[in-house]
């Protein structure tokens, strides 16, 4: 095969180890490969929003986007981090032979603290925390996040007795200390220790190649565990453990669901002949549910909602599902748009230079005229989505920028002629017409639509507010005080928010889904 397989991976040390392992196995089979580390979300060039594609995993989303954009051919993940529902168009192509499935306790001095009444153990895992407190209810469990190296360093720096790690992670990086024991009694996360390869469903050639490195027994066991997890998730983040293994032509499964504090636990264990295992995960999940698991999950779902976010744009059900489970999000439109009647005389003759800074202006133009009537020689716009809408419904865009100020600065340098027609709102910002006028470019402003403030008065304290335009900031503040974090869709919105909020965050990409991702990154 002459095709070079592009292997997408996160750029952490452990992720690169996994990707290089996949690379090595493929190259031993005679395939050419190249690693493509992916650092950030980047420029999403998709026709549909993320929620329609089902992209949800906080550790896998960036690679999903890169694959759907066809920037990579395959992606390599820790299987335990992959959501049980893959995005549309992406499939599991291979699972490598599983490593150590256990959780490992790394302790400082000795193991005597295990019998002590008071001890401090660190972990960032809800599942590990719950199982530890179930076994050692008088111990204190503290949070621990970061990569493996930084967590080991934090253990040494703090007055803790021990910390819990995935055995596979510290083993693969050759970082397992001598003072470490595997916790065989602790049921691991579903698919812990397994490496997964995903590919586009439509790429039959790549899927056929990946099948060559698939480990069938690992695939069987992790599928059972993930079916168990998927049935129990129910929209909440719960302490769930699952482990399946094959021995002597039999499949043994163990599963557990706990309360966050470890005081409540429902377990299941079942052995079936290999070949009769296909419904094992679902069967065991139903057993858990019937033995008190449903009540426990309902309690978990109610207890974990603790961060209040308000969106100044009405969110769809799909968008609301993208929020982390600890976030309670309410939404309503803070501004209402009313399209104006635009006189036919405005577009009677061909207009040399047109400026459009929002999709609302596009809607207003098309509300008044047919595309054939809109004879614009040069169209300049703000925003990638506005550009796509214009090119789909009106005509080619000559140039686009991320905000109005940048567009004005570009036009001062490169415009053809000295006049522009600017289709805008009655509440437009001054930057663009001011800069153009100061540079002897005449601006004919046409009020295409009106923006009406219509924000709710929000009761109770908010942890953060999501803003999508300067108008949404102004509207919200007419009814409410500036408290919490302002999560903004772009620089222009952030500029207005900074006049009122101390903490302002800007999304990587100017989309609603990216603002939601910004919220999740802060609170997860």
Domains of the chain, first to last: 1-95+192-214 (3.40.190.10), 103-183 (3.40.190.10), 216-303 (3.30.160.40), 307-334+454-523 (3.40.50.10090), 337-453 (3.40.50.10090)
Confidence of residue 302 (pLDDT cuts 50, 70, 90): low
Is the C-alpha dihedral spanning 62, 67, 69, 70 positive or negative? Answer: positive
Residue 248 has pLDDT above 90, yes or no: yes
Q: Which residues pair with 330 in a beta bridge?
A: 310
For the segment 210-216, the average pLDDT, to the nearest whole number, is 96
Residue 404 has pLDDT above 70, yes or no: yes
Which is more confidently placed, 368 or 40? 368
Residue 52 has pLDDT above 50, yes or no: no
Q: What is the pLDDT of residue 35?
A: 96
Catalytic residue among 71, 81, 261, 431: 81
- Taking the C-alpha atoms of residue 38 and residue 9, their distance in angstroms, rounded to an integer, is 6
Question: Worst-scoring range by mean pLDDT, 168-172, 197-201, 442-446, 451-455?
Answer: 451-455
- Taking the C-alpha atoms of residue 504 and residue 493, their distance in angstroms, rounded to an integer, is 10
Confidence of residue 399 (pLDDT cuts 50, 70, 90): very high
For the segment 202-207, the average pLDDT, to the nearest whole number, is 95
Q: What is the pLDDT of residue 40?
A: 45
Structure tokens at 463: 């942890």
For the segment 373-381, the average pLDDT, to the nearest whole number, is 94
Cβ atoms 7, 76 nearer than 8 A: yes
Residue 167 has pLDDT above 90, yes or no: yes
DSSP element (H, E) containing 243: strand 240-247
Is there a catalytic annotation at residue 81?
yes
Q: What is the pLDDT of residue 383?
A: 86
Q: What is the pLDDT of residue 48?
A: 42
Q: What is the pLDDT of residue 235?
A: 44
Question: Worst-scoring range by mean pLDDT, 4-18, 76-90, 231-245?
Answer: 231-245
Q: What is the pLDDT of residue 51?
A: 36
Residue 366 has pLDDT above 90, yes or no: yes
Residue 400 has pLDDT above 90, yes or no: yes
Confidence of residue 403 (pLDDT cuts 50, 70, 90): confident
Which is more confidently placed, 341 or 523? 341
Residue 510 has pLDDT above 60, yes or no: yes
- Taking the C-alpha atoms of residue 373 and residue 394, their distance in angstroms, rounded to an integer, is 10
For the segment 69-87, the average pLDDT, to the nearest whole number, is 90
**What digits encode the pLDDT tens for the residues 304-326?**
556 689 999 999 888 888 888 77
Q: What is the pLDDT of residue 524?
A: 55
Residue 6: which residues within 8 A CB-CB, separation 6 or more?
33, 34, 36, 71, 72, 73, 74
**What digits encode the pLDDT tens for the residues 432-443?**
999 999 999 999
Which is more confidently placed, 124 or 56? 124
Residue 221 has pLDDT above 90, yes or no: yes
- Taking the C-alpha atoms of residue 524 and residue 520, their distance in angstroms, rounded to an integer, is 6
Confidence of residue 237 (pLDDT cuts 50, 70, 90): low
Cβ atoms 441, 418 nearer than 8 A: yes
Q: What is the pLDDT of residue 43?
A: 33
Q: What is the pLDDT of residue 392?
A: 93
Residue 112: which residues within 8 A CB-CB, separation 6 or more?
none
Q: What is the pLDDT of residue 208?
A: 96
Indicate the average pLDDT of the chain.
Answer: 89
**What digits encode the pLDDT tens for the residues 140-158?**
998 887 788 889 999 999 9
Q: What is the pLDDT of residue 144?
A: 83
Q: What is the pLDDT of residue 60?
A: 67
Q: What is the pLDDT of residue 39?
A: 66
Residue 44 has pLDDT above 70, yes or no: no
For the segment 212-235, the average pLDDT, to the nearest whole number, is 91
Among residues of the chain, what percentage have pLDDT more than 90?
65
- Residue 270: how many CA atoms within 13 Å on its side-chain side? 23
Burial of residue 282 (number of CB atoms within 10 Å: 0-12, 13-18, 19+): middle
Cβ atoms 259, 127 nearer than 8 A: no
Which is more confidently placed, 289 or 42? 289
pTM assigned to the model: 0.59
């Amino acid at each position: 095969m002459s095709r070079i397989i592009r292997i997408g991976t996160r750029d952490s040390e452990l992720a690169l180890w996994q990707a290089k392992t996949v690379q090595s196995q493929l190259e031993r089979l005679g395939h050419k490969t190249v690693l493509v580390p992916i650092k950030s979300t980047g420029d999403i060039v998709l026709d549909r929003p993320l929620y329609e594609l089902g992209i949800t995993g906080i550790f896998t989303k960036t690679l999903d986007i890169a694959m759907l954009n066809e920037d990579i051919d395959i992606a390599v993940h820790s299987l335990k981090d992959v959501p049980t529902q893959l995005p549309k168009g992406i499939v599991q192509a291979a699972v490598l032979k599983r490593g150590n499935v256990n959780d490992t306790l790394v302790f400082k001095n000795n193991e005597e603290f295990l019998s002590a009444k008071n001890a401090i153990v660190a972990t960032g895992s809800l599942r590990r925390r719950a199982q530890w407190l179930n076994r050692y209810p008088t111990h204190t469990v503290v949070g621990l996040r970061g990569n493996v190296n930084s967590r080991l360093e934090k253990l040494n720096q703090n007055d803790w007795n021990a910390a819990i790690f995935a055995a596979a992670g510290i083993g693969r990086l050759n970082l397992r200390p001598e003072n470490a024991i595997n916790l065989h009694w602790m049921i691991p996360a579903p698919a812990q220790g397994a490496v997964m390869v995903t590919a586009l469903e439509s790429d039959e050639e790549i899927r056929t190649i990946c099948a060559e490195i698939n480990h069938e027994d690992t695939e069987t066991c992790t599928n059972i565990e993930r079916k168990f997890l998927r049935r129990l998730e129910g929209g909440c983040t719960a302490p769930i453990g699952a482990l399946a293994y094959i021995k002597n032509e039999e499949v043994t499964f163990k599963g557990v669901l706990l309360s966050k504090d470890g005081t409540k636990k429902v377990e299941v264990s079942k052995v079936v002949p290999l070949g009769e295992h296909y419904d094992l995960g679902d069967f065991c999940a139903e057993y858990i549910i019937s033995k008190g698991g449903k009540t426990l999950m309902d309690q978990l779902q109610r207890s974990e909602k603790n961060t209040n976010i308000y969106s100044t744009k009405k969110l769809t059900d799909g968008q609301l599902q993208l929020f982390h489970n600890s976030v309670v999000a309410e939404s309503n439109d803070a501004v209402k748009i009313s399209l104006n009647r635009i006189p036919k005389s405005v577009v009677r003759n061909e207009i040399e230079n047109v400026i459009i800074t929002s999709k609302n202006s596009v809607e207003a133009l098309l509300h008044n005229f047919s595309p054939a009537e809109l004879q614009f020689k040069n169209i300049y716009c703000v925003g990638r989505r506005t550009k796509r809408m214009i090119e789909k419904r009106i005509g080619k865009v000559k140039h686009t920028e991320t905000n109005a100020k940048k567009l004005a600065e570009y036009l001062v340098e490169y415009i053809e002629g000295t006049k522009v027609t600017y289709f805008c709102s009655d509440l437009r910002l001054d930057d663009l017409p001011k800069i153009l006028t100061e540079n002897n470019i005449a601006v004919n402003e046409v009020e295409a639509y009106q923006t009406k403030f219509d924000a709710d008065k929000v009761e109770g304290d908010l942890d953060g507010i999501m803003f999508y335009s300067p108008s949404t900031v102004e509207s919200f503040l007419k009814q409410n005080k500036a408290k919490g974090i302002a999560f903004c869709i772009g620089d222009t919105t952030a500029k207005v928010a900074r006049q009122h909020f101390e903490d302002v965050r800007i999304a990587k990409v100017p989309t609603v889904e990216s603002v939601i991702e910004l919220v999740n990154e802060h609170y997860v």
